[in-house]
Structure 1
Amino acid sequence: MKRNFVFTTSLFILSSLLLFASCGQGNAGEGHQQGPAEVPMATVATGNATIQSEYATAIEGLSNIEIRPQVSGYLTKIMVDEGDYVRAGQVLFKIEDRVYEEQLNQAKAAVATAEANLVTAKINLDRKQELATSKIVSDLQVREAQAAYDATKSAVAQAKSTVASARINVEFATIKAPVSGYIGRFNYRLGSLIAPSNALPMTVVSDNHQVYAYFSLSENDFVAFQREHTGNNIAEKLKNSAPVSLLLSDGETYAVQGRIDAVEGQFNKSTGSITLRARFDNPKGELRSGNTGKIKIERHMENVLLFPIASTVMIQDKVFVYLVDAAGKVAQVPVTVSGKSGNDYMVSEGLKEGDKYIATGFERLQNGMPVVEQKQVENKK
Structure 2
Amino acid sequence: MRKQLLIKIVGTVPITYLLAIAFLAACSRPEKSQTKQALAVIPVVSLSSGSVTTYQDYPASIEAVANVQIRPQVNGYIDQVFVDEGAFVKKGQILFKINDQPYREQLNAAIANLHAAEASLLSAQIETDKLKPLVENKVIADYQLKSADATLQMAKARLEQAQTGVASANINLGYTSVKAPVSGYVGRLVKKQGTLVAPTDPAALAELSDVSDLRVYFSLSEQDFINFKAQYPGNSLGEKINRVPKIDLILSDESIFTQKGKLDMFDGQFDKNTGAITVRATFPNQQGLLRSGNTGKIRLGLMHADAVMVPTAATTEIQDKIFVFALDEKNKLSRQAIEIIGRSGSNYLVKDGLKAGDRIVISGMDHLQEGQIIQPEIKKPHNDTRTAFK
TM-score by length of 2: 0.85
CA distance in 2: counterparts of 1:78 and 1:276, whole angstroms: 39
Alignment of 1:165 onto 2:168: yes
CA distance in 2: counterparts of 1:108 and 1:31, whole angstroms: 120
Alignment of 1:263 onto 2:256: no
Partner of 2:289: 286
Partner of 2:187: 184
Query: Out of 194, 197, 206, which is 1:194 matched to?
Result: 197
CA distance in 1: counterparts of 2:31 and 2:200, whole angstroms: 100
Alignment of 1:33 onto 2:33: yes
Alignment of 1:66 onto 2:72: no
Partner of 1:101: 104
Shift of 1:132: 3.2
CA distance in 2: counterparts of 1:375 and 1:72, whole angstroms: 85
Shift of 1:315: 2.4
Paired letter, 1:123: I
Partner of 1:91: 94
Shift of 1:234: 1.2
Secondary structure of the equivalent of 1:320? strand
- Contact kept? 1:41, 1:356, Cα under 8 Å: yes
CA distance in 2: counterparts of 1:191 and 1:353, whole angstroms: 77
Paired letter, 1:215: F
Alignment of 1:81 onto 2:84: yes
Deviations 1:66-119 (A, max 9, x none): 111111112221111111111000001111221111111000001111111222
Q: Percent identity?
A: 39
Query: Out of 330, 334, 338, which is 2:337 matched to?
Result: 334
Shift of 1:32: 5.5
Secondary structure of the equivalent of 1:284? coil
CA distance in 2: counterparts of 1:85 and 1:150, whole angstroms: 53
CA distance in 1: counterparts of 2:75 and 2:246, whole angstroms: 48
CA distance in 1: counterparts of 2:164 and 2:132, whole angstroms: 31
Query: Could you tell which deviates more after superposition, 319-328 or 206-215?
Result: 319-328
CA distance in 2: counterparts of 1:348 and 1:151, whole angstroms: 85
Paired letter, 1:118: L
Secondary structure of the equivalent of 2:149? helix
Task: Go from structure 1 to structure 2 and tell me whether the alpha carbon gap of 1:85 and 1:147 turns closer, same or farther (over 3 Å shift).
Answer: same
Aligned length: 351
Shift of 1:255: 1.2
Deviations 1:186-206 (A, max 9, x none): 222222221111112221111
Alignment of 1:229 onto 2:223: no
Partner of 1:113: 116
Query: Out of 246, 249, 264, which is 2:249 matched to?
Result: 246
Paired letter, 2:119: A
Query: Could you tell which deviates more after superposition, 221-230 or 120-129?
Result: 120-129
Query: Out of 195, 203, 208, which is 2:206 matched to?
Result: 203
Secondary structure of the equivalent of 1:40? strand
Paired letter, 1:323: A
CA distance in 2: counterparts of 1:104 and 1:85, whole angstroms: 33
Deviations 1:243-265 (A, max 9, x none): 11001111111111111100111
CA distance in 2: counterparts of 1:223 and 1:29, whole angstroms: 63
Query: Could you tell which deviates more after superposition, 345-354 or 36-45?
Result: 345-354
- Contact kept? 2:88, 2:184, Cα under 8 Å: yes
The residue correspondences of 1:334-353 to structure 2 (distance < 5 A) are 334-353=337-356
Paired letter, 2:33: Q
Secondary structure of the equivalent of 2:178? strand
Secondary structure of the equivalent of 2:103? helix
Query: Out of 366, 372, 377, which is 1:374 matched to?
Result: 377
- Contact kept? 1:322, 1:357, Cα under 8 Å: yes
- Contact kept? 2:46, 2:378, Cα under 8 Å: no
User: Which blocks of at least 5 consecutive residues in structure 1 are unaligned?
Assistant: 1-25, 377-381
Task: Go from structure 1 to structure 2 and tell me whether the alpha carbon gap of 1:198 and 1:47 turns closer, same or farther (over 3 Å shift).
Answer: same
- Contact kept? 1:68, 1:196, Cα under 8 Å: yes
Over aligned residue pairs, what C-alpha RMSD do you find?
2.0
TM-score by length of 1: 0.87
Query: Out of 147, 151, 165, which is 1:148 matched to?
Result: 151
Paired letter, 1:161: T
CA distance in 1: counterparts of 2:124 and 2:260, whole angstroms: 72
- Contact kept? 1:50, 1:342, Cα under 8 Å: no
- Contact kept? 1:66, 1:204, Cα under 8 Å: yes
User: Which blocks of at least 5 consecutive residues in structure 2 are unaligned?
Assistant: 1-25, 380-390
Shift of 1:133: 4.3
CA distance in 1: counterparts of 2:273 and 2:136, whole angstroms: 85
Paired letter, 2:196: L
4+ residue segments displaced more than 6 Å: 26-29
Task: Go from structure 1 to structure 2 and tell me whether the alpha carbon gap of 1:344 and 1:146 turns closer, same or farther (over 3 Å shift).
Answer: same
Secondary structure of the equivalent of 1:267? coil
